[in-house]
């Protein structure tokens, strides 16, 4: 995709594929004045590691809306760490959406690469014609 995101970062995960437990050194953290839970996520199988590219993750979940606003990902077979930070979170039509997201890959303290993803004009529950989603139209971008 030419960015620091992979497909697993943009899709739903099967909860039963991961083990979760609170971070031992600080179950609760505060970011930008909002309380979060710090939670370890560990894949239950090598298949999940292969699919996601992550050996483990540390997630920071807002306590008021259950949204992951920060995370650290240990990249499979690499010394790289991938940091995700939600810079802008908006409630659109009752749904929480990260409208600006920053992903930074680091090797030690050195930044290897950074991606900023910005979403604008987000809308939900649009009355769309199902024919727009044919394989041909999706492949051609029509």
How high is the pLDDT of residue 1? 56
Give the residue numbers spanning the domain of 16.
7-140
Question: What's the pLDDT at 2?
Answer: 65
Residue 2 lies in a domain: no
**142 residues of the chain, pLDDT tens digit each:** 568 888 888 888 899 999 999 998 778 889 889 999 999 999 999 999 999 999 999 999 999 999 999 999 999 989 899 999 999 999 999 999 999 999 999 999 999 999 999 999 999 999 888 888 888 888 887 6
For position 130, what pLDDT does the model report?
A: 87
Q: How far apart are CA 28 and CA 99, in angstroms?
A: 25
- Residue 1, in any domain of the structure: no
**Count of domains in the chain?**
1
Nearest to 114 by CA among 98, 96, 126, 100: 100
Assign residue 120 the CATH number of its domain: 2.50.20.10
């Amino acid at each position: 995709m030419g960015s620091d995101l992979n497909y697993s970062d943009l899709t739903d995960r099967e909860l039963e594929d991961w083990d979760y437990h609170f971070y031992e050194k600080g179950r609760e953290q505060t970011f930008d004045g909002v309380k979060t839970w710090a939670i370890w996520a560990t894949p239950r199988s090598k298949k999940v590691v292969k699919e996601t590219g992550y050996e483990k993750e540390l997630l920071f979940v807002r306590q008021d809306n259950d949204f992951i606003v920060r995370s650290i990902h240990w990249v499979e077979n690499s010394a790289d760490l991938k940091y995700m930070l939600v810079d802008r979170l908006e409630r659109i039509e009752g749904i929480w959406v990260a409208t600006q997201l920053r992903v930074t890959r680091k090797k030690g303290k050195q930044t290897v690469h950074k991606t900023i993803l910005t979403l604008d004009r987000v809308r939900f529950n649009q009355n769309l014609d199902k024919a727009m989603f044919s394989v041909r139209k999706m492949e051609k971008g029509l």
